[in-house]
Chain A
């Protein structure tokens, strides 16, 4: 059972475009994390959101945690080819276990 639904699964856009990736669940998480993973490497943590309604910005990336702490979104402004990669959301559950979403493969074409 996939507790975290992530969409879209695949996104191919032109350099300079904006995009949003969504992560939704029926479960409440103590916090939610976003990772970026490149082929053949482990995921790298981008951000952790903890408080319902929280918004965090990391340069051109904006992360939002839903008020009920069940959903989150990642918005990228003016995407660049260097943003290409697999983006994963992960909810933190009991025992500090991470439940990962299915991932979004982003390809930014120059």
Chain B
């Protein structure tokens, strides 16, 4: 089956630093990847849609300059949380959509970010 990995699985950083999270589709090509944020015991909130070779589309209320997304290849998208603050602490999950197959997203295992 389609496998999506995320790295790192968890990260602790100091306030003001930047953190990069990678999302990889391991055995398929993904023209579109999605980034979600999930707070404890809550649902997933879509942050942005990342298309290979083009700028990401951000959901309303998500700061594009704070959450930088790069989708440089068909198997890799990165999310960089710039100048992280404690309120950015959350569980970040990516999903990858199989090229040519709509409505099928495969989710990564998530990255737990804790900003001190």
User: A residues engaging B (CB < 8 A)?
Assistant: 6, 30-31, 33, 35, 40-45, 48, 86, 88, 92, 95-103, 105
Chain A residue numbers with a CB within 8 Å of B44 are 43, 88, 98, 100
Report how many A-B pairs have Cβ atoms within 8 Å: 58
B43 touches A42 (CB 8 A): no
Taking the closest CB of chain B, its distance from the CB of A99, in whole angstroms, is 8
B107 touches A92 (CB 8 A): no
Segment from B13-21, B64-72, B80-88, B108-116 that makes contact with A:
B108-116
What is the chain B residue whose CB lies nearest that of A48? Answer: B103
Q: Interface on chain A toward B: helix, strand, loop, or mixed SS? A: strand
Taking the closest CB of chain B, its distance from the CB of A46, in whole angstroms, is 12
A42 touches B107 (CB 8 A): yes
B42 lies within 8 A of chain A by Cβ: yes
20 A-B interface contacts by CB (under 8 A)? A33-B103, A35-B107, A40-B110, A42-B4, A42-B95, A42-B108, A45-B106, A48-B103, A88-B43, A88-B44, A96-B102, A97-B34, A97-B49, A98-B34, A98-B95, A100-B45, A101-B43, A102-B42, A102-B43, A103-B43
What is the chain B residue whose CB lies nearest that of A44? Answer: B107
A42 touches B46 (CB 8 A): no
Chain A residue numbers with a CB within 8 Å of B42 are 102-103
Chain A residue numbers with a CB within 8 Å of B34 are 97-98
> In the complex, which of the residues B32, B41, B91, B95 contacts A105, with contact meaning CB atoms closer than 8 Å?
B41
Taking the closest CB of chain A, its distance from the CB of B114, in whole angstroms, is 13
